[in-house]
Homo-oligomer: A and B are copies of this chain.
Amino acid sequence: MSTLDHAIAAPVIHREHHRDADDDRPRLECGVVGVWGAEADEASAIVALGLHALQHRGQEACGIASVHETRFHTERHMGHVGEAFGGSDLPTRMPGTAAVGHTRYSTAGGSFLRNIQPMFADLDTGGIAIGHNGNLTNFLFLRNQLVGEGSIFQSTSDSEVILHLIARSRKAKVVDRFIDALARIEGGYALVAQTRSKMIGARDPLGIRPLVLGRIGDAWVLASETCALDTIGATFERDVEHGEVVVIDRHGLQSIKPFPARAARPCLFEYVYFSRPDSVVNGRSVYGVRKRMGQGLAREFPIEADVIVPVPDSGVPAALGYAQESGIPYEMGIIRSHYLGRTFIQPSQATRQKGVRMKHSPNRAVLEGKRVVLIDDSIVRGTTSVKLVRAVRAAGATEIHLRSASPPILWPDFYGIDMPERDQLIAANKTLEEMREFLEVDSLGFLSVDGLYQAMGETGRDEKTPQFTDHYFTGDYPTRLVDREIEAGGRDPVARQLSLLVSA
């Protein structure tokens, strides 16, 4: 099609909108994939396929950087992986035996092309490309410091801070510089970097964000979830450990633990919502955990009813668990359209509301005249749920019993999950009965925190040294929140820096 040829000629190349500057906080949930040592010119295609498998971790934008001898090729696009990197010309466009890719979701404010990863820098040791899943809790503190020293930032992303810290490290070798940078950042992260000769992977000291290691032929693979390994046909080797740095080059894999040993505390929300059901995260099947969440929920909040109906797709495994535990038939009482993304991760508030209306359709044949147990993975604001409840009731349900397969969400996240502030979280602002009324349901139940820990295979939460990151349910943040403390101190560290409103 000729539009193509002409797109090159077309005067407008890109224009980034930044409508609400106050909202431009770099809180994102993302996916990363890296490949090292692939057959000639296959690395970018393998990474693309892996990113496709991680599309659920970020649907707004994606990028790949490949390394061909000493040169890097990078492309960054708005939109889905299949559209951006699905073409058969990818190996020609992006040759090389190593590559790193990133898929990204962000709040409306940060939808900048320049924020799309991987981020690249030409150091005096050669080029480096980095993909980052997670969020730094001392990003703004570090950014201000670096700008004060003369660093020029090209994005509003916290990931760029890491790049500048590496660039400014006085160490001679790039791995040492990388570790120097890690020593200064706080928060949750899974990092994959490519230099001219090495792939480097790293996971934060608590292992909040996931990262797994695999092999495909002689090549090494790093990815956020095992489903990416499955899709590309790689074998799973092991999880990268919390606080571990892995360096892969022609000498093989080297594992470094540069920081003092601490107990791991992986994020529970990966199991509740983020990870794909066929992934195995930190040794646990996500599908299995979710089914057990539903089973626990059936034990904690049993009810006499005719049908168990999941809110598709994320509520499906818990609903199956609830149905198997309760003996009540499981039915597809709500049909989900596959032609829009999932509500939780649509760019704007407007689309979010519209998305719900158009995404879920009640299946009257299943619901009419029935007592319905509706199973959702979690309840955040509650606004989505109430619309669904009304639709189910309009389709003829005589009773609706809503069950959340995770505990009440009470606190915001600062480790890479885009979640509203506390004043918008329904459970932080209403009693259970108030919520039941607001949600217009006949009964309401949330899985308990201990119930969730049990679904994870624990006997319960260890209050002293909790096994998982669970602050959204408990308020117990696993790290310092430096930026948050500065903000609370009345100084907005952002406003001074972000002079650039719209950029193309």
Contact = CB atoms under 8 A, between A and B. Distances in A.
Interface of A: 1-17, 19, 21, 49, 52-53, 55-56, 59-60, 68, 70-87, 89, 93-94, 111, 113, 120-124, 126-127, 144, 147-154, 163-164, 167-169, 196, 227, 230-231, 276-278, 280, 285, 287-288, 313, 316-317, 320, 324, 329-332, 335, 337-342, 347, 358, 361-366, 496-504
Q: Which 4 A-B pairs have the closest CB atoms?
A: A2-B2, A11-B79, A127-B499, A13-B14
Contacts of A82: 339-340, 358
Given A4-B6, A94-B502, 8 more contacts: A1-B11, A4-B4, A5-B83, A7-B15, A120-B500, A152-B163, A231-B358, A278-B363
Contacts of A169: 150
B72 A501 contact: yes
A196 B499 contact: yes
B122 A77 contact: no
Q: Which of A10, A347, A503 has the largest number of chain B CB atoms within 10 A?
A: A10
Contacts of A2: 1-6, 11-12, 14-15, 17, 75, 77, 84-85, 87, 93, 504
B4 A111 contact: yes
Given A3-B7, A15-B4, A80-B339, A361 B503 contact: no
A87 B5 contact: yes
Given A53-B337, A365-B278, A365-B287, A9 B7 contact: no
A81 B339 contact: yes
Contacts of A498: 122
A363 B317 CA distance: 12
Contacts of A5: 2, 4, 12, 83-84, 86-87, 89
A386 to B, nearest CB: 17
29 contacts: A1-B2, A1-B93, A1-B504, A2-B15, A2-B77, A2-B87, A3-B8, A3-B9, A3-B15, A5-B12, A5-B89, A6-B12, A7-B7, A7-B12, A7-B78, A9-B83, A11-B78, A12-B78, A12-B83, A13-B78, A21-B71, A53-B361, A71-B501, A74-B502, A151-B151, A277-B332, A278-B361, A287-B365, A287-B366
A361 B502 CA distance: 33
A72 B500 contact: yes
B10 A10 contact: yes
Contacts of A501: 68, 71-73
Contacts of A278: 335, 361-365
A73 B68 CA distance: 36
A80 to B, nearest CB: 6
B78 A230 contact: no
A221 to B, nearest CB: 16
Contact of A150 (B16, B81, B151, B365): B151
A499 B53 CA distance: 29
Given A4-B2, A5-B2, A15-B2, A500 B71 contact: yes
Contacts of A111: 4
Contacts of A11: 1-2, 6, 9, 77-80, 83-84
